[in-house]
């Protein structure tokens, strides 16, 4: 059998293992799992909707399987592989457990990203971003004068509104996930718009909470 020279091989049996976390031939930790996408890490389909309890069970199972403590007496190459794979599993879990990073990653897998031709933020939200930034500047200026109580109270109201709006946007995204995992142009655009809105709301809320 001819093997692609760029394909990673199993440390023990020599079989191609570039897209696997564990060699299918002998069970040894593969040298490099970087080519496996985050859904593939957990042997999940590339769906926006995920059973989070199932994801957590798969995460802990893989964490135990690849934990470096279990490879302390193995060859150095396998020890290094367990460290790399543990890092991949952790990144994959962190990405997929949160609906926003999951949706961003899903979009990237389908050739989309928020930074590419992203003019889908609703005008009302763009105006709100500007207004909140002005309130933040007003609070900083008032704080410098030593009298910021009124501005702080006003911004606290904005914080509560943003929290409420963020919950509503998250619910819409969850509903969108539940509606299916279509990769049509319309579905991709709708998901991109929702994720963009959530991204803006999260950033605004973070800035407001930090200032308060």
Q: What is the pLDDT of residues 18-42, one digit of tens each?
A: 556 666 555 656 655 545 689 988 9
109 falls within a domain: no
- Taking the C-alpha atoms of residue 11 and residue 14, their distance in angstroms, rounded to an integer, is 6
Identify whether 23 is part of a domain. Answer: yes
Q: Which of 61, 79, 97 is the last residue of a domain?
A: 97
Contact present, 113 and 199 (Cβ < 8 Å):
no
Q: CB–CB of 84/169 below 8 Å?
A: no
- The chain-wide mean pLDDT, for the chain, equals 78
Q: Identify the domain boundary among 42, 63, 97.
A: 97
Q: How confident is the model at residue 17 (pLDDT cuts 50, 70, 90)?
A: low
Which of 78-82, 156-160, 177-181 shows the highest mean pLDDT? 156-160
Could you give the CA distance from residue 118 to residue 55 in angstroms, rounded to a whole number? 30
Residues 73 and 148 in one domain: no
Residue 52 confidence class, pLDDT cut points 50, 70, 90: very high
Give domain status of residue 111, yes or no: no
**Most confidently modeled of 24-38, 138-152, 155-169, 179-193?**
155-169
DSSP string for 35-94: TS-HHHHTT--S-S---HHHHHHHHHHHHHHH-GGGGTTS-HHHHHHHHHHHHHHHHHHH
For residue 115, being part of any structural domain is answered with no
Please check whether residue 180 lies inside any domain of the structure: yes
pTM over 0.75: no
pLDDT at 106 over 70: yes
Decide if 140 is inside a domain: yes
Supply the range of the domain harboring residue 196: 123-211
How many domains in the chain?
2
């Amino acid at each position: 059998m001819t093997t692609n020279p760029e394909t990673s091989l199993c440390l023990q049996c020599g079989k191609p293992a570039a897209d696997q976390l564990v060699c299918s031939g002998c069970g040894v930790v593969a040298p490099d799992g970087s080519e496996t996408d985050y859904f593939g890490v957990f042997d999940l389909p590339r769906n926006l909707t995920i059973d989070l309890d199932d994801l957590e069970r798969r995460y802990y199972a893989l964490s135990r399987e690849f934990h470096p403590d279990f490879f302390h007496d193995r060859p150095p190459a396998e020890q290094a592989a367990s460290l790399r794979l543990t890092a991949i599993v952790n990144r994959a879990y962190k990405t997929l457990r949160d609906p926003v990073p999951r949706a961003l990653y899903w979009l990237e897998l389908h050739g989309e990203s928020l930074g590419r031709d992203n003019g889908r933020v609703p005008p009302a939200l763009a105006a709100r971003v500007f207004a909140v930034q002005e309130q933040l500047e007003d609070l900083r200026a008032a704080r410098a004068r030593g009298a910021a109580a009124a501005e702080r109270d006003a911004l606290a109201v904005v914080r509560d509104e943003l929290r409420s709006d963020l919950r509503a946007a998250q619910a819409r995204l969850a509903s969108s996930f539940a509606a299916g995992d279509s990769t049509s142009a319309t579905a991709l655009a709708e998901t991109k718009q929702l994720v963009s809105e959530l991204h803006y709301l999260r950033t605004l809320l973070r800035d407001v909470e930090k200032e308060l």
